[in-house]
Amino acid sequence: MKYVRLGTSGLKVSRICLGMMTFGDTVTRRWHLGEEAAEPIVKQAAESGVTFFDTADMYSGGVSEEITGRLLARLFPHRDDYVLATKVYYPTGSGPNDRGLSRKHIMAAIDASLRRLGTDYVDLYQIHRLDRETPIEETMEALHDVVKAGKARYLGASSMSAWEFAKAQYTARAAGWTRFVSMQNHYNLVYREEEREMIPLCRDQGVAVIPYSPLARGMLAGNRTRDGRPTTVRAGTDPLAESRHDEADFDVVDAVRALAAERDRSPAQISLAWLLGRPGVTAPVIGATKVHHIDEAVAALDVALTGGETARLEAPYRPHPVSGHE
């Protein structure tokens, strides 16, 4: 495993981050794994040197945080041995204040997350999306107070427009509040719109890029065919993937498969190797439902693509409407 600083902060993280959305209530989502099934996967990640784990308060109605907290407490001797990230924004209840980034919801949400995670603090507290109904000053001050209260060590953000992210950072800096050290955005071989503005902004400002959906919800790993047939349980119940990707994206998938065959690697390893080699990318957030998914992700760290290979993978790309900010 390799370790790098999270942006310009002093925090060191593994170059692979394990996303915990997969683990939760098996009744609501057929592809979710319960705690018992999740344990060998998280154990393999820990034994492989992964120290960075990402969840959210809305994943499986909070069950993901509960499973995450219990597993990490069992698998690591000390709390300081791993970096724990969670998120706030999406609804966690039926009330009008059970969502968003108001001071009221942020203060309630961090305490609820800490209870579910069974810890006194999270290392990285992220806004899951931008709340455009709440003044950015209110949001940034509340997040700063969470840090000053010792409930979070660092702050991160997720998908939004680059100008919105710049405004949030400027607001915090002008007031002397805590700024974001990371951006978790939608970025992979078949969705590269973040290269236009967000990633250049992050590189310029020293903000870590920790992309989610690095395999395009499994598409780059081969979980669906060009004619739309799913090859996994999740692919058969994932309308979001269908709305974000179209038939033309399979030209990229075909390029990945061809190079994978030449290099005697899996398509997932080639796709992750490309992402790990992109300027500004710190640690892709991978999902895993099997132990070998961890092994493939870690093996991708040792795959160095040539300039020609990178050009082959990128050549079939076609621009997409912006997605992931909603």
Q: How far is CA 326 from the centre of its chain?
A: 15
Count CA within 13 A, CB hemisphere, residue 140: 21
Note the residue count of the chain: 326
Neighbours of 94 (CB within 10 A): 7
Q: Are 128 and 158 in contact (CB under 8 A)?
A: yes
Please give the chain's pLDDT, 326 residues, in tens.
Answer: 999 999 999 999 999 999 999 999 988 888 899 999 999 999 999 999 999 999 999 999 999 999 999 999 999 999 999 999 999 999 999 999 999 999 999 999 999 999 999 999 999 999 999 999 999 999 999 999 999 999 999 999 999 999 999 999 999 999 999 999 999 999 999 999 999 999 999 999 999 999 999 999 899 998 666 666 555 555 445 455 555 667 889 999 999 999 999 999 999 999 999 999 999 999 999 999 999 999 999 999 999 999 999 999 999 999 999 998 98
pTM confidence score = 0.94
Q: Which of 59, 82, 125, 187 is catalytic?
A: 59
| Alpha helices by DSSP H, 76-183 | 103-117, 136-148, 162-175
Q: 3-314: CATH homologous superfamily?
A: NADP-dependent oxidoreductase domain (3.20.20.100)
Q: Is 89 a catalytic residue?
A: no
- Residue 1 makes CB contacts below 8 A (sequence gap 6+) with 14, 15, 16, 48, 49, 50, 51, 298, 301
Biggest CA pair distance of the chain: 54
